[in-house]
Amino acid sequence: MSLKSENLKKYFFKIYYIGKQKYHGSQRQSNVLTIEDQLIDILIKRNYIDDLERAEFEFASRTDRYVSARGAVFSIIPKKKPILMEINSFLPCEMGLWASSPVPINYSPRYHAVSRHYRYIFPEPLDYLISEYNFNIDIVKKACSQLEGIHNFQNFSKRDNSIEDTIRELNFVNMTISNNTVFIDFISKSFLRQQIRRIIKKLMELGKNEISFEEFLTLFDAKKFVSYEPANPNGLILWDIQYNSNIKFQINKKSVERMQNYFVTQKQKNWLKFKLFSRLEEDYLR
């Protein structure tokens, strides 16, 4: 029996999470902990839902293990009016809801998404890439432009026999550099499995002069399937998901403060590790 008949509202929620080792991706799986498992457990315990099918629980996108999210979206038809901080207070600090919007009862966070925005952070600083590999920024930017538009991305995705159509349109692919760090942003309505991580793998090989630009272009030819390992998942972030203007997310101030406090704490903790290893390296080189 659907909750729709009881005249309850459906909501979309924005959620952040960090792809820690203990989570085996976002989507529920047997016998392992996932982001969805952690969230569902709290929603049931706090009496927001009691049955996933009745509540129409659905995530807009799935992410692999170690991938993080700033603006993932999920939906439920809750049994009571949602209070974000009530839910967050029972969630671990590495995840939390920070915005919500009532939506039409027939809306799906997956199928009504207008665009998905991912950001990838390169694992090495730019000066290291240049000194160690003579990294070619210009040719990577040229390749980013080539990726925009409609292409067959078969050779930039994980082989999946259930997916017949590997043609996608990338609306925006752009490299930026800030504070010695390389970022690449991708925006599209939908992506194939591991598409971004496999694109990144080839862009890094291109920048390191391990493949030529002509070899990069041959990957758009779907006549021959090319297999290779994707790039490190730790640098990938599901940055945001956009919907039509009738969906108006209301940001919860206390939830954002909770999120930012967690980020600041983690930044300070990792800054100390960075300084520790930097000092050890400097001392060793004396």
Taking only the tens place, the pLDDT of each residue in 167-201 is: 999 999 999 999 999 999 999 999 999 999 999 99
Cα distance between residue 145 and residue 135, in whole Å:
18
* The pLDDT of residue 277: 85
Residue 69 inside a domain? The answer is: yes
Joined together, the tokens standing for residue 131 give 């000194």
Residue 48 has pLDDT above 70, yes or no: yes
The verdict on 132 and 166 lying in the same domain is yes
The verdict on 58 and 90 lying in the same domain is yes
pLDDT tier at 6, thresholds 50, 70, 90:
low
Report the length, in residues, of the chain.
286
pLDDT tier at 31, thresholds 50, 70, 90:
very high
Task: Pick the catalytic residue from 37, 41, 64, 165.
Answer: 64
The verdict on 130 and 108 lying in the same domain is no
The verdict on 227 and 128 lying in the same domain is yes
37 in active site: no
Residue 163 has pLDDT above 90, yes or no: no
pLDDT tier at 281, thresholds 50, 70, 90:
confident
Residue 220: alpha-carbon gap to chain centroid: 24
Domain that includes residue 216, residue range: 124-231
The verdict on 255 and 160 lying in the same domain is no
54 burial level (CB within 10 Å; 0-12, 13-18, 19+): middle
* Tokens 């919007």 belong to residue: 101
The verdict on 212 and 192 lying in the same domain is yes
Of 103-107, 181-185, 237-241, 278-282, the least confident: 278-282
Residue 104 inside a domain? The answer is: yes
Joined together, the tokens standing for residue 1 give 């029996």
pLDDT tier at 10, thresholds 50, 70, 90:
very high
- Which CATH number characterizes residue 140's domain? 3.30.70.660
Residue 30 inside a domain? The answer is: yes
Task: Please compute the mean of the pLDDT values over residues 259-274 and round it to a whole number.
Answer: 92
Task: List residues bridging with 170 in a β-sheet.
Answer: 149, 188
Residue 118 inside a domain? The answer is: no
Domain count, the chain: 2
pTM: 0.93
The residues, ordered by sequence, that sit 6+ positions from 140 with a Cβ below 8 Å of its Cβ are 175, 203, 206, 207
